[in-house]
Chains A and B, each alone.
Chain A
Amino acid sequence: MDYAISDAPAARTPLSRTADNGLKIVVVGGFGVGKTTLVRSVSDIRPLSTEETMTQAGRGVDDLGGVAGKTSTTVAFDFGRISLDRRTVLYLFGAPGQERFWFLWDRLFAGTLGAVVLVDARRLADSWYAIDRLEHHGTPFIVARNDFGGPRHSPEALRDALDLDPRVPLVDCDARSRASSKNVLITLVEHLQALASARETAS
């Protein structure tokens, strides 16, 4: 074999023997918006990266032995994790927001609790597509504005520019800060709780 397998997950804190329930939250946004930074800020482990290869037809890994690169697309994403208690571990995925990624959403991120759309106020258009797709998929989400300095739009102006449903929370964050990134996740879960109780009342 002409390649090496890094056998030991070197120096990475392993999960507890009792861990038996994995949960998912996805952080989505344009390139350079701070997804990996946010994941790193709250993760128990240094972010790792991997990839999924699929064809646009969206079946399994299609026909890798056939004509190389036929219509297969590779999407790279990174992730970290937080052990919440003895049994529960929350995985945070940083995923690209570009169009070519979304055909993978159902397969990769089905069962996601919710999503954080990370936006850079200087490049709002980068997040339009992601917001569109999340709405379409019915995945609950919040929007977090990552602070890169520069002029600040009012929350109203930002909501306007993103055409954001008034019920979707919008928070400011600094992805480099653990406290701030933690607050983003808490805001998302509180939003999910609000959705859950709205559903209770409705039924």
Chain B
Amino acid sequence: MSRPGRDDDPDRLYTLTGGRSRADGHEFDLVTLVVSESEPRPGMQSEHAAILRMCRLPTAVVEIAADLRLPVGIVRILLADLLDMGVITARHPRTAPARAQLLDPILLEQVLVGLRNL
């Protein structure tokens, strides 16, 4: 598979994020599922509107990044904006990154059943 062409012009990325470099106060995991809670409004930044259309059904941060052809870090910032505007909700992974939680036998059994049913 070849990667689609990207326009990673730093100026463009700077414009998109208003020069911010971090999604302050929000932690979006790669697999946090984003759901839009309203329709795009006229005059909204086009990336914000695109995300709202994309996330009518739950969509992972990483899928949004792939569809927008933007680095994940930039998408996290755009999502933080949308969350602050109250127009999306975020369903974060239920397991904390702590090892102990990831080795939860009930979770693992659930994954195994799902895989065997493939």
Shortest CB-to-CB span from A180 to chain B, Å, is 12
> Assuming A24-B30, A111-B29, A192-B108, is B103 touching A199 (CB within 8 A)?
yes
Q: Can you name the residue of chain B whose Cβ is closest to the Cβ of A66?
A: B10
> Assuming A91-B62, A108-B30, is B115 touching A51 (CB within 8 A)?
no
Q: Does B88 contact A (CB under 8 A)?
A: no
Distance A63 CA – B13 CA, assembled complex (angstroms):
10
Residue tally, chain A, CB below 8 Å to B: 72
Q: Are B94 and A51 in contact (CB under 8 A)?
A: no
Shortest CB-to-CB span from A104 to chain B, Å, is 10
> Assuming A60-B22, A61-B21, A74-B71, is B99 touching A82 (CB within 8 A)?
no
Q: Are B57 and A17 in contact (CB under 8 A)?
A: yes
Contact of B58 among A17, A36, A63 (CB under 8 A): A17
Shortest CB-to-CB span from B101 to chain A, Å, is 9
A residues 64-118 in Cβ contact with B at 8 Å: 64-65, 68-69, 74, 76, 78-79, 81-85, 88-91, 93, 108-113
Contact of A20 among B91, B103, B115 (CB under 8 A): B91
Q: Can you name the residue of chain A whose Cβ is closest to the Cβ of B54?
A: A9
Q: Are A190 and B112 in contact (CB under 8 A)?
A: yes
Q: Does B118 contact A (CB under 8 A)?
A: yes
Residues of B with C-beta under 8 A to A84: 110-111, 113-115
Q: Does B82 contact A (CB under 8 A)?
A: no
Q: Does B43 contact A (CB under 8 A)?
A: no
Interface pairs A-B: 7 shortest CB-CB: A22-B31, A84-B114, A61-B73, A60-B22, A111-B97, A48-B66, A65-B14
Could you jot down 13 A-B contacts, CB within 8 Å?
A7-B54, A9-B63, A19-B58, A21-B33, A21-B94, A64-B10, A65-B19, A69-B10, A88-B114, A89-B60, A111-B95, A111-B96, A192-B108
Interface residue ranges, A against B (CB under 8 Å)? 1-3, 5-9, 14-17, 19-24, 36, 40, 42, 47-54, 59-65, 68-69, 74, 76, 78-79, 81-85, 88-91, 93, 108-113, 138, 178, 182, 185-186, 189-190, 192-193, 195-197, 199-200
